[in-house]
Structure 1
Amino acid sequence: MTDQPAQEVPQKGHPKGLWVLFGTEMWERFNFYGMRALLSLFLAEALLMGETESSIIYGGFLGLCYLTPMLGGYISDKYLGNRNCILLGGTVMGIGQLLLFFSGTLYADNLELAKTVMWIALIAVIFGNGFFKPNISSMVGSLYPHQQKSKLDSAFTLFYLGINVGATLGQIICPIVGDVQQDGIRDLSAFKWGFLVAAIAMFIGTITFLFLKNKYVVTPDGRAIGGRPKKSDIPEGESESAKFTQINIIISIAIMVAATYGLHLVFDSPGASPIKAWLYPFIFASGISLGYLILSDKTITKVERDRIWVLYIVCFFVMFFWGAFEQAGSSLTFIANNQTDTRIFGWTMQPSMVQSFNGIFVMAFAIPFSILWVWMSKRKIEPISPVKQAWGLLLIALGYLIIATQVKGLGDGAKIGIIWFIVLYLLHTWGELCLSPIGLSLVAKLAPKRFASLLMGVWFLGNAGGYVLTGVLGALLPPSPDKYISMNKEGVDLRGILEGQKEASGRDLYILGTGKIGVEVDVRKGKENNIDLDKAFAKSAALLKKAKDRKDTAYTLRQTLDSVLTRDQFEIIKTQALVKPAYPQFMGVKLKDVYDFFMLFVVLCGLAGIVLYALTPMMKKMMHGVR
């Protein structure tokens, strides 16, 4: 293989470098989405963290995955360049997946060590993603000279096709090997094989980029793309580098600290995990402080400032989209697992695989959408990017509205057909194609050259805020019908307790708290009363696991109680409200069932879409000719 770069890029079609980036991103998304398909179930069932805590962790993990691109973008722009950051990020992510494989190997014999390895693995994936993600997206925009920028919407839609080819393969193959059930019982030891397959995919993508980048990822005149920007790369009229004064950096840090603490007061509550109480506020505060810092640059012109404000406005509304869309990996997976008949053409699909319909539909519709935008552009009827994104929000609201009508009044033990998940993912995919690739293209078109990777990081920060909402909203999933049935088997009338028709004993509350089903658990207050609830819950779970291993199906959670706490401690749980039964609430509204849960997303995304659409005339002026 020669390293001699190609000297010319055809005027028609797309440069070959796009297909190298397409392939690299495809394998990285295989890795990420394959792992994502298994993560919530792995946390909830193998590591015994429960659905609510798993949703919180899932949201925090995804939020940080889209916060660290700010760091990766800055280091790329300042020191390493796009190419080196992609290679570094891909390698670190592959190592993170191998660590998840080891966590999946250790959980049965040493649960605490498995949890520790899991945290290290997620940290590795988070930072690897931060180096990889903004830089490969930024390089797509760099492939096209100024006179070919009109091709960017089409290019990013094709690039998005690569993302979803990989995501779909990952969401199918990783669950096939990692989410294995026999006679309706999940084999928890299989999760590790899904993580191993994800690791292999990541290393394939990294090696592909390593060997092909010098030949194909180049400018039309043959110069390598992805180094630190040079003065010759800066379009006329733009400053070469950002100029942040010391006082503005200090103010930005102060804003981040103050906003983190202020939002902590909003997110914190009795029993709130550190992820929700501190990490979520930090992610939002980072976006606020970075937004100030970029606009404080003294070299920014009025046109640049207006365009950056457009990106900020879009990022705000994008949070609502991703907060609803990414339920696919948490609450929608749990609903597919608990309340959905996943049989399709006589074959029972793994619940973690249901979300793969999104990727399948992206592959089916990405090119038609790309053709549609080009067709509309030639006829001068193409709407500006924010209008397309408003359509995306309205489509995701419609998807939730349709499935909400199907679950309304669903009785205990009843299940919805998988067809309604297919309809939901079809509409969500159309919404995604109106919003996400268009957003990537918008950053490439609006961002000043010196802020290219950093503002791509800001775009992903909007995603990070959305994933925080994913965790917050996903944790509001009400008890599913199977939970009422399982609690009845334990002698707990969950519905009666939640409706205030039955008084729960301390033992009843403890049983509900073990699975975090329909209750708020105040761990801190428990420790103040010399009761370590987390330790007690873990001990009960371990006793149940031992009974399961010896195939003692008659052994129940209630039978573990005398082994973990005393009679007086159970009484304290009740009198001190250490475990408090309650339906989830959002802004004072109780969410009693899955219908209420789905309607929450209908309202949030529907309103966001309407407001964004109303703002588009103003935003069009602020874009100064960019569409």
Structure 2
Amino acid sequence: MTDNLGFESHEKDLQKKAYPEEIQGPKLFGHPKGLMTLFFTEMWERFSFYGMRALLILFMASPVVDGGLGFGDKTSGAIYGLYTMGVYLLALPGGWFADRLLGLKKSVWYGGLIIALGHFTMGVPGIWGLINSSFEESAVVTRLDTTCFFLGLIFIVVGTGLLKPNISSIVGQLYPEGSAKRDAGFSIFYMGINIGGFLAPLACSTFAKIDWHLGFGLAGFGMVLGLIQYKLSGKYLEGKGELKKSKSPQEIRARKKLVNTSILVLAGVAFLLLLMFQGIIPVNAAAIAEASFTFIAIVAFLYFGFLIFFGGLNSDQKKKVGVVAILFVFSAIFWSGFEQAGSTLNLFAKRFTDRQVLGWEIPTGYFQSANSLFIIIFAPLFGAMWVWLARKQLEPSSPLKFAFGLLLLGMGFLVMYFAAKIAASGHLVAPTWLLITYLLHTFGELSLSPVGLSLTTKLAPKKFEGQMMGMWFLSIACGNLVAGIIAGKASGGSKTALEAMPGQYFLIVSTVVGASLVLFILSKPIRRLMGNVH
């Protein structure tokens, strides 16, 4: 998980901030001590996020008698897709709020508090059950569990939108512009992401074996630990991530108006959600997910069309925006497959994988740690490989790296196609099938994700750079949404669905590999449209 959310604010930060000529303040091994503050904040935030993510669709799809919500696969997948889509979508207004209302440091703090509140809200039914022995016999169980679940998810989405796009921007402010240590600093920072992502599914899944709500609560406890160390070591961030103070009366009035408008909007959304939770407004998650996909597709099409024809761009800029539009489609396809790790593949691990080892059953969520572990192991090797190929003048172009990423994703699902054939025959499959799939998907991520981020910033016209990065995140949001929709169809939750499962996996293989081949064919024309960008 390379965690794309951090890059937008970092790139924006490079444009907007004037840095001193050398690193200021206390240092640790040549890096600002504030880096460690942010490292552990991010590590614990990712611990909370990926710990909960490992449990999410399993909890929704588990029967009520097993402590779950008893949702069908289609509904569970749709909710999962809407949730993961929301994390990326709210990163955009999260950065906007930080720039205009809260500042980066306060956004990280308040975002963390809201995230912790979300996790603990999801754990409320478990606490209620401990103090009320008749809880399981009470009709209030379903309503309380469902309400707390959805409310908690909303809090986590909002909190992540505030925290994630802004914490990386503070990392950028710790280093002078052009500093040779900045890339190393970000590498250290992103290692924290993957350490948190590796440990969380192991810890939270272990607690969830006792009670689902204990797993959610542990994820929230991780966020609290991150907030405590963020506050205790906050002195190392002095002067970083502060909100620019309003000076003129006009600025003060404009900011007050913005605050009041934001409060009204949030109150309206809260009231709407309350009506939904109480069942006054009926909710069909699958229909909302499909409508959201259509909406995102239309917005993307209209935006790129407007920019090319009415954006006041010259011929070279129009070509480069066209490349971003093409990559938007292929990015969405990639993430629609990759993000099935937490949905379709998570359910496959639970239902069709032999998890018995020496009489002990491996908790399903443990498999969610594989991607982070593979990133920690192979990210340095991939970086070294690209450098070596560049020296030999053999490094693939960016579109070709994109195509390789899609091909590796398709190969991963080809492995799952054969695993699904075994499962459909009535046999459990070995964990190796899933681990090989996650390994191939990680290789695909390392080939595509960093390239897409970098290329978007290089191709974007300067006056639209922030918006172009927003479109990159929109493609990821779209992919996450589609991943959830697919999960409802390819998870084999019924006899009919199990029989159809191999065909569903082969359809994914055909789509992804087909997209890869199309991109291989288009790579040279795309390369020409890119002009002087490599």
1:80-159 map, 5 Å: 80-105=102-127, 108=136, 109=138, 110=140, 111-138=142-169, 147=178, 159=189
Q: Determine the structure 2 residue equivalent to 1:203.
A: 224
Alpha-carbon spacing, 1:315–1:214, altered in 2? closer, same or farther (3 Å): farther
Q: Does 1:329 align with 2:365?
A: no
Q: Does 1:29 align with 2:46?
A: yes
**CA offsets, 1:347-392, max 9 Å, x none?**
4211122222122111211222233334444555433433322211
Q: How far apart are 1:297 and its partner, in Å?
A: 8.6
Q: How much does 1:224 deviate?
A: 3.4
What is the CA-CA distance between 1:596 and the residue it aligns to? 1.4
Question: Structure 1 residue 367 and structure 2 residue 274: aligned?
Answer: no
Evaluate the alpha carbon distance shift between residue 209 and residue 172 of structure 1 in structure 2; reply closer, same or farther with a 3 A threshold: same
Tell me what 1:604 maps to: 511
The answer to whether the Cα contact below 8 Å between 2:87 and 2:161 also exists between their aligned partners in 1 is yes
1:448-597 matches, cutoff 5 A: 454-477=467-490, 479=492, 483-484=494-495, 518=496, 592-597=499-504
The residue that corresponds to 1:167 in the other structure is 197
Matches for 1:183-582 after TM superposition, within 5 Å:
190-210=211-231, 215=236, 224=240, 273-288=286-301, 291=304, 306-344=319-357, 347-408=360-421, 410=423, 412-446=425-459, 454-477=467-490, 479=492, 483-484=494-495, 518=496
Following the alignment from structure 2 to structure 1, what is the Cα–Cα distance between the partners of residues 57 and 169? 30
Q: Which has the larger displacement, 19-28 or 120-129?
A: 19-28
Q: Does the CA contact (< 8 Å) of 1:407 and 1:594 recur in 2? A: yes
Compute the TM-score of the two structures, normalised by the length of structure 2: 0.75
Contact 1:229 1:450 in 2 (8 A): no
Q: Mean alpha-carbon deviation: is it higher for 119-128 or for 344-353?
A: 344-353
The answer as to whether partners of 2:172 and 2:182 remain within 8 angstroms in 1 is no
Structure 1, 203-212 or 466-475: larger mean CA deviation: 203-212
RMSD: 3.7
Corresponding residue of 1:561: none
Cα distance in 2, alignment partners of residues 192 and 620 from structure 1: 51
Q: Say whether the 8 Å CA contact 2:323–2:526 is kept in structure 1.
A: yes
- State the Cα distance separating 1:89 from its structure 2 match: 2.2
State the structure with bigger RCO (CA 8 A, min sep 6), 1 or 2: 2
User: What displacement does 1:87 show?
Assistant: 2.7
Distance 1:392 1:208 in 2: 37
**Is 276-285 or 422-431 further displaced after alignment?**
276-285
**What residue identity is the alignment partner of 1:51?**
D
The one-letter amino acid paired with 1:195 is: F
Distance 1:273 1:430, change over 3 A: closer
Q: Hey, what does 2:278 align to over in structure 1?
A: none
* Secondary structure, aligned partner of 1:100: helix
For the 8 Å contact 1:164–1:362, the answer to whether it is kept is yes
Letter in 1 for 2:226: G
- Between the aligned residues of both structures, percent identity stands at 35
| Residue 56 of structure 1 pairs with residue 78 of structure 2 | yes
Cα displacement (A) at 1:302:
6.0
Aligned-pair distance for 1:204? 2.9
Residues 116-147 of structure 1 deviation map (CA, whole Å, 9 limit, x = unaligned): 22221111112222222333345556666664
CA contact (8 A) 1:443 1:456 kept: yes
Q: Displacement of 1:286 after TM fit?
A: 4.4
For 2:107, give the aligned amino acid: C
Over 3 Å counting, the alpha-carbon distance change for 1:457 and 1:31 in structure 2 is farther
Q: What secondary structure does 2:489 align onto? A: coil
Cα distance in 1 between the residues matched to 2:173 and 2:523? 27
Contact 1:6 1:216 in 2 (8 A): no
- CA drift at 1:415: 0.6
Partners in 1 of 2:206 and 2:405 — Cα distance?
A: 31
**Alpha-carbon distance, 1:469 to partner:** 1.0
CA distance in 2, matches of 1:143, 1:616: 38
Contact 1:138-1:444 at 8 Å conserved across structures: no
Please, which moves more after superposition, 447-456 or 392-401?
447-456
Instruction: Give yes or no for contact 2:81–2:289 (8 Å, CA) kept in 1.
Output: no
Whole-angstrom distance in 2 between the partners of 1:81 and 1:439:
28
Task: State the alpha-carbon separation in 1 of the partners of residues 481 and 70 from structure 2.
Answer: 22
Letter in 1 for 2:512: C
Match of 1:236 in 2: none
Select the structure of larger CA radius of gyration.
Answer: 1
- State the shift of 1:299 in Å: 7.4
Q: Give the superposition deviation at 1:209.
A: 4.3
Residue of structure 1 equivalent to 2:12: none
Task: Name whichever structure is richer in helix by fraction.
Answer: 2
Structure 2 counterpart SS, 1:341: coil
Question: Contact conserved, 2:174 with 2:240, CA < 8 A, in 1?
Answer: no
Instruction: Decide whether aligned partners of structure 1 residues 229 and 347 sit closer, same or farther in structure 2, where only a CA change above 3 A counts.
Output: farther
Higher deviation after alignment, 599-608 or 288-297: 288-297
* Number of aligned residues: 462
Partners in 2 of 1:61 and 1:124 — Cα distance? 11
**Contact 2:332–2:476 (Cα < 8 Å) also in 1:** yes
The residue type paired with residue 95 of structure 1 is L
Query: How many Å separate the matches in 1 of 2:458 and 2:228?
Result: 30
SS of 2:478's equivalent in the other structure is helix
* Residues 424, 499 of structure 2: 8 Å contact kept: no
Structure 1 counterpart of 2:509, one-letter code: V
Contact 1:137-1:440 at 8 Å conserved across structures: no
Q: Does the C-alpha gap of structure 1 residues 162 and 453 become closer, same or farther in structure 2, counting only changes over 3 Å?
A: farther
1:39-54 equivalence runs, <5 A: 39-45=56-62, 46-54=68-76
Query: What secondary structure is seen at the aligned counterpart in 1 of 2:59?
Result: helix
Cα distance, 1:142–1:318 mapped onto 2, change above 3 Å: farther
The residue matched to 1:49 in structure 2 has which SS?
Answer: coil
Kept after mapping to 2: 8 A contact 1:156/1:440: no
Residue type at the aligned position of 1:224: K
Which letter maps to 1:597?
Q
CA contact (8 A) 1:385 1:438 kept: yes
The residue identity in structure 2 corresponding to 1:473 is: I
* Structure 1 unaligned regions, length at least 5: 181-189, 218-222, 231-270, 485-517, 519-582, 584-590
Distance in 2 between residues matched to 1:621 and 1:161, nearest whole Å: 35
Whole-Å separation in 2 of the counterparts to 1:372 and 1:116: 49
Aligned partner of 1:35: which letter?
Answer: M
Gaps of 5+ in 2: 1-19, 63-67, 129-134, 247-283
8 Å contact from structure 2 (residues 348, 491) kept in 1: no
Change beyond 3 A, Cα 1:626–1:113: same
Report the 3-state secondary structure (helix = DSSP H, G, I; strand = E; otherwise coil) of the residue aligned with 2:396. coil
Q: CA deviation at 1:291?
A: 4.7
* Aligned residue identity for 1:23: F
